[in-house]
């Protein structure tokens, strides 16, 4: 099909409209290119964050920023984490107890196995997903509106580095608070599970609270997951916030991207760390 | 002495306001959901945007979820040597609990946040008032198509996601644990009952409805510019997550 060029409208250029194969390749390649751009941006922000942690200006104002962010991330999520993980503990014990009753009738190992699964898998992952939704949207919305109202450009003009000034406090705060909230989540979920086991299946709390099956491996895996999520969630959220274009609609889009990217990062990291942990366990 | 009481009182009133608003929204959606009142093109458009656009991310999440559950179950299975139970262990937990919860959380993150942001932007740019000025009911035009699409699409996505998770689990079992995928599939067919599958589907229906109502409620109630949109999205995803876990517990309890 002939088309007119924009430079010289009187000249007709022979140009074909994209066929099926080209459309298919474009459909396949477009998301991959966008994904690559996002990942590259995230790695850049991660690298800059580590650089500014080592080389940045550490003083009273940085400490105050970090404490403020730790309050924002940690203290204000306590009720939310307690409710969600309490209910999760109740659900898991209810299901597990029902099945154990039906199959073996022996509930003595319920608490020990539940604690192991909680420490290894559910507490870090579900806490991270909850924080990804709550804290991820908050950070992305804050940074996004700062970009849209040109405050980030003003920061750059005054010689402050946006990553240094905005991202580093949030990163440090989220990393510390993720570990703290994971521990809190384990406690709350285990207590909720103990109450459920006692109320529905008559399991004595003394039998339920059983640390026999915990090993160092479980603790290391749980800690590794919490640290990995604590790095991934603020970086993805800040990346989504700092790459906003286009007014309040862009801010809305950025918050959606933040939640989706952070949740996906949590699940991918969960799979990787579980797989690596399993491989290490079978080698040992 | 007065201050803590004032804070608790203010919190409670705030919470009561939200719950009341949600119930009013549920009532208005119900009143407008009669078939002759539905806006066909809007429903169709919502179904596409909510369902088709979430498909890749739900499939990826489900594959990884299946793999994770098989790895976790695998550690116990290897200790007791019960390879024939791997399909049952992983399949039971995926179909009943982990599948609907993780797919619901991913759905609420993607679709719920997107809907609240969209409706919130429409609210603060006065487009909702413009609809009212044209004598179009915003709930009927904007909210009902989205709620219906979310209920239907989450159901479909959980079905697809369950199968994707079992597929991911089978592959992981074969590659990582050395459990033959035929044994995995046999174990699922032998031990998993239809009611395990439908248990997850009931949860998907309830999750879809609650995500729809909560996200549209917070979207229509946005105020305060771009920061208000961010706050509304935050409240919406937090509310959806709490609703998912609370309803999961009650459905699990009620259906035993």
Question: Could you tell me the pLDDT band of residue A208, with boundaries at 50, 70 and 90?
Answer: confident
Q: Which residue reads 């179909």 in tokens?
A: B95
CA nearest neighbour of B46 among B137, B147, B161: B147
Q: Looking at residue A76, what is its pLDDT? A: 87
Mean pLDDT: which of A26-35, A90-99, B130-139 is highest?
B130-139
- Mutant choice from B117, B175, B244, B254 vs A, greatest count of A C-beta within 10 A: B117
The answer to whether residue A28 is domain-embedded is no
- Interval B42-59 mean pLDDT: 90
CB contact under 8 A, B248 and A95: no
Out of A105-109, A185-189, A220-224, B168-172, least confident range: A105-109
The answer to whether residue A32 is domain-embedded is no
The answer to whether residue A148 is domain-embedded is yes
A150 φψ region: left (φ > 0), alpha (ψ -120 to 50), beta (else): left
**Position A248 pLDDT exceeds 80:** no
CA nearest neighbour of B192 among B171, B163, B223: B163
Question: Could you tell me the pLDDT band of residue B227, with boundaries at 50, 70 and 90?
Answer: confident
Question: Could you tell me the pLDDT band of residue B133, with boundaries at 50, 70 and 90?
Answer: very high
Instruction: Give A-chain residues touching B116 at CB under 8 angstroms.
Output: 252
B124 touches chain A (CB under 8 A): yes
The answer to whether residue A4 is domain-embedded is no
Instruction: Give B-chain residues touching A92 at CB under 8 angstroms.
Output: 97
C-alpha A111/C-alpha A116 separation (Å) is 9
Q: Which DSSP string corresponds to B128-197?
A: HHHHHHTT--HIIIIIHHHHHHHHHHHHHHHHHHHHHHHHHHHHHIIIII---HHHHHHHHHHH--HHHH
| B237 → closest Cβ in A113, A133, A268 | A133
Q: Which residue reads 């905005």 in tokens?
A: A166
Mean pLDDT over each residue of chain B, to the nearest integer: 90
For residue A130, the Cα-to-chain-centroid distance in whole angstroms is 8
- Interval A5-24 mean pLDDT: 71
Each residue's pLDDT tens digit, B92-114:
889 999 999 999 999 999 999 99
Cα four-point dihedral sign B154, A273, B234, A52: negative
CB contact under 8 A, B64 and A129: no
**Position B216 pLDDT exceeds 80:** yes
- Interval A141-170 mean pLDDT: 90
| A248 → closest Cβ in B121, B245, B248 | B121
Asked whether the beta carbons of B76 and B181 are under 8 A apart, the reply is: no
Instruction: Give A-chain residues touching B57 at CB under 8 angstroms.
Output: 260, 264
Q: Looking at residue B127, what is its pLDDT? A: 93
**Position A8 pLDDT exceeds 80:** no
- Interval A18-43 mean pLDDT: 86
Question: Could you tell me the pLDDT band of residue A14, with boundaries at 50, 70 and 90?
Answer: low
What is the percent of chain A with per-residue pLDDT over 90, rounded to a whole number?
45
Q: Which domain holds residue A179?
A: 59-283
Each residue's pLDDT tens digit, B155-199:
999 999 999 999 999 999 888 888 888 888 888 888 888 888 999
Q: Looking at residue A13, what is its pLDDT? A: 64
**Position A121 pLDDT exceeds 60:** yes
Domain count across chain A: 1
Q: Shortest Cα distance from A26 to chain B (angstroms)?
A: 16
Interface of B with A in 48-67 (CB under 8 A): 56-57, 60-61, 64-65, 67
- Interval A114-143 mean pLDDT: 91
- Interval B8-34 mean pLDDT: 92
CA nearest neighbour of A234 among A147, A138, A122: A138
Chain A: residue nearest B60 by CA?
A264
The answer to whether residue A231 is domain-embedded is yes
């Amino acid at each position: 099909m002939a088309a007119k060029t924009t430079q010289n409208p009187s000249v007709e250029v022979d140009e074909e409209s994209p066929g099926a194969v080209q459309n298919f390749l474009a459909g396949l390649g477009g998301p991959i290119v966008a994904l690559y751009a996002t990942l590259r941006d995230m790695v850049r922000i991660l690298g800059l964050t580590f650089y500014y942690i080592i080389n940045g200006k550490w003083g009273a104002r940085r400490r105050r920023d970090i404490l403020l962010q730790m309050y924002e991330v940690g203290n204000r999520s306590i009720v939310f984490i307690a409710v969600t993980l309490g209910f999760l503990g109740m659900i898991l014990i209810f299901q597990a107890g029902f099945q154990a009753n039906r199959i073996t009738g022996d509930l003595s190992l319920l608490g020990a196995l539940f604690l192991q699964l909680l420490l290894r898998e559910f507490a870090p992952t579900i806490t991270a997903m909850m924080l990804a939704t709550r804290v991820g949207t908050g950070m992305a919305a804050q940074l996004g509106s700062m970009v849209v109202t040109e405050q980030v450009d003003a920061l750059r003009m005054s010689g402050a580095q946006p990553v240094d000034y905005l991202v580093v406090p949030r990163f440090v705060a989220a990393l510390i608070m993720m570990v703290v909230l994971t521990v809190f989540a384990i406690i709350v979920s285990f207590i909720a599970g103990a109450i459920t086991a006692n109320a529905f299946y008559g399991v004595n709390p003394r039998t339920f609270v059983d640390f026999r099956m915990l090993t160092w491996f479980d603790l290391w895996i749980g800690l590794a997951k919490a640290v990995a999520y604590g790095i991934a969630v603020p970086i993805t959220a800040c990346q989504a916030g700092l790459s906003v274009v286009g007014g309040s609609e862009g801010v809305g889009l950025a918050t959606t991207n933040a939640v989706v990217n952070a949740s996906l990062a949590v699940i991918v990291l969960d799979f990787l760390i579980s797989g690596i942990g399993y491989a290490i366990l079978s080698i040992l | 002495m007065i201050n803590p009481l004032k804070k608790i009182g203010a919190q409670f009133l705030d919470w009561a306001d939200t719950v009341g608003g949600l119930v009013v929204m549920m009532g208005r959606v119900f009143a407008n959901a009669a078939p002759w009142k539905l806006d066909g093109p809007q429903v169709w458009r919502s179904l596409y945007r909510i369902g088709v656009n979430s498909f890749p991310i739900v499939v990826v999440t489900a594959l990884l979820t299946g793999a994770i559950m098989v790895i976790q179950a695998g550690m116990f299975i290897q200790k007791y040597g019960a390879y024939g139970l791997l399909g049952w262990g992983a399949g039971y937990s995926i179909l009943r609990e982990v599948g609907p919860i993780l797919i619901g959380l991913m759905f609420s993150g993607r679709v719920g946040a997107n809907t609240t942001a969209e409706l919130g932007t429409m609210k603060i740019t006065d487009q909702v008032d413009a609809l009212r000025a044209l004598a179009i009911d915003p709930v009927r035009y904007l909210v009902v198509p989205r709620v219906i699409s979310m209920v239907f699409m989450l159901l479909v996505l959980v079905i697809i996601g369950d199968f994707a998770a079992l597929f991911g689990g089978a592959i992981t079992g074969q590659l990582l644990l050395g459990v033959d995928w035929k044994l995995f599939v046999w174990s699922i067919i032998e031990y998993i009952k239809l009611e395990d599958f439908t248990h997850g589907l009931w949860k998907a229906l309830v999750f879809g409805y609650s995500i729809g109502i909560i996200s549209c409620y917070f979207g229509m109630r946005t105020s305060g510019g771009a920061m208000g949109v961010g706050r509304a999205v935050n409240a919406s995803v937090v509310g959806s997550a709490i609703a998912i876990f609370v309803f999961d517990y009650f459905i699990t309890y009620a259906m035993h």
